[in-house]
Chain A
């Protein structure tokens, strides 16, 4: 097992190289360059001055030299400075990462808590009106764009009813600390978390349904029933536990969707996270930040794929990776 993990980690390295090179290349072929962000408008058009800025930023060097120098600095933990705010990129990213993690983790949790019971109900009542109704609802659910859902929820809960704040992470008017501060953040989180978990909710409940139907057809379920166990016990102890296994993989392969959702949700609700940073950095051509956000997203996706495979092997003893 540990051999397998090490092999997978080693395989991730060329992957990250490839992605960073690709990102660097896209930035390279973009019109204009980073010097424009640094030029002092006072001295503006003087070619000698512009050239001096370019040299100071290393932009006079060829592509591969700049890539290698970026790589060297990145490997030693120096991500450079944001062109927009002039703060270190590591601070820009580090400040926002916890906010995104709180949002993403809450959304994952909420998706699980809601999707599993819905899937179980569909599976137990399969091919009844309840099941068909839930399956149509799930299709409707995956068809609604999450940015429209966000506007809908904003309209109802924030504008019409006035129950929930429309944007931000904290109350701007007063500084709340301690427990009141936690409640304040939770209050701001309700709408973004609902929106972010919605997309998963629809597809996960379908996966849970088919996983449980699959398990209910197994021989050991027939054995449990013929032993005379109560149906409730068969369902909760024997079937549900085994049907949860594929959900680990489903959750992990949903990470790219959640990452994409975070870009949109954070932008709409002005949530100070990585997704919103990604969108503003692309809009403002803040190249060092773009590189950092892209690599961070890639790391998250690679990590979650690895997590899916490992946890699956850990939970299901029949799977052995080492023997391959």
Chain B
């Protein structure tokens, strides 16, 4: 089996390096994508070390300091406090962690279902394809947000339930993209060659096809993270996502609604933070698409 090395699957040594170098160069040309990638690394670092860099306990109230009103930024509280005297910087930091955890894990879940469905449907075709694509169509007709509201509101929105629900309601686009790509890969010589040599179905799918799907999966996944983050924050904003007293960018904005007249930091900070995270993912996804997708190459 190892005697036949197929260049389209795994360009050996130098070629692989050249390919990586080309992708990196193409990505680097996209200045905003590069800046966004750095920003994302910073956000991830914040998420990982949130409880260590937070100057205060994010859920510790200080009624004496606040006096029922949000306190403006000061030397001690850099981003002020909310109406309960909780340090707003610390709450923002742990909220960034929640957003990223929800966004990334929901997308992992979505990619696993989507790639599995798309690969099986495209590779086996016929009846399997028919059944799997009919299921995909069914999910596309489901009023996703209403179901998410129900999962969050009625089943008691624990974070894992929320993540599973977001993943389970958003895998369809990935499945369709992967299926279309598999259909075209099936016609390529290296797949025929592998079939002739008697490779099993699983080996063809896993060893020969999957590596060729990586670039579309990476792009689709990167561009799905912001959607998952926005969905979680929308649910939290409506009071059905992350339960209080824990901070999420969505429920911070929800609390901010009543202070919109008097305390600008209360609604500006979480809003700008969500927008920056989402924007960074969108720019990176855009840059990756330009770098990886041969169809958009100029």
Contacts and interface: CB of A to CB of B under 8 A. Distances in A.
Does A pair with B? yes
B66 to A, nearest CB: 21
Nearest to A138: B282
B16 interface: no
B143 A256 contact: yes
Nearest to A152: B271
A147 B260 contact: no
Contacts of B234: 145, 147, 260, 264
Nearest to A301: B141
Interface string A1-20: 00000000000100100110
Interface stretch (B81-89, B150-158, B209-217): B150-158
A179 to B, nearest CB: 33
Contact of B260 (A26, A154, A293): A154
B279 A145 contact: no
Interface string B207-228: 0000000000000000000100
Interface string B117-153: 0000000000000000000011011111111011101
A218 B63 CA distance: 68
A26 B283 contact: no
B257 interface: yes
A168 to B, nearest CB: 15
B278 A259 contact: no
Interface in B216-267: 226, 230, 233-234, 237-240, 250, 253, 256-257, 260-261, 267
A264 B226 contact: no
B286 interface: yes
Interface stretch (A27-35, A36-44, A185-193): A27-35
Given A144-B275, A279-B238, 15 more contacts: A15-B138, A26-B147, A26-B155, A143-B278, A145-B233, A147-B234, A147-B237, A151-B256, A159-B260, A256-B143, A259-B145, A263-B238, A279-B240, A285-B153, A294-B143
A263 B239 CA distance: 13
B133 to A, nearest CB: 13
A216 B282 CA distance: 28
Given A31-B156, A278-B146, A298-B141, A145 B267 contact: no
B79 interface: no
A305 interface: yes
- Kindly name the residue among B143, B156, B230, B234 whose own CB sees the greatest number of chain A CB atoms within 10 A: B143
A266 to B, nearest CB: 11
Interface in A117-174: 136, 139-140, 142-145, 147-148, 151-152, 154-155, 159
Contacts, number: 125
B245 to A, nearest CB: 19
Contact of A159 (B150, B261, B278, B283): B261
B144 A260 contact: yes
B47 interface: no
A205 interface: no
B159 interface: no
Given A147-B237, A148-B275, A264-B234, A29 B155 contact: yes
A282 B146 CA distance: 9
Given A147-B253, A259-B143, A139 B153 contact: no
Contacts of B233: 145, 147
Contact of A151 (B138, B267, B286): B267
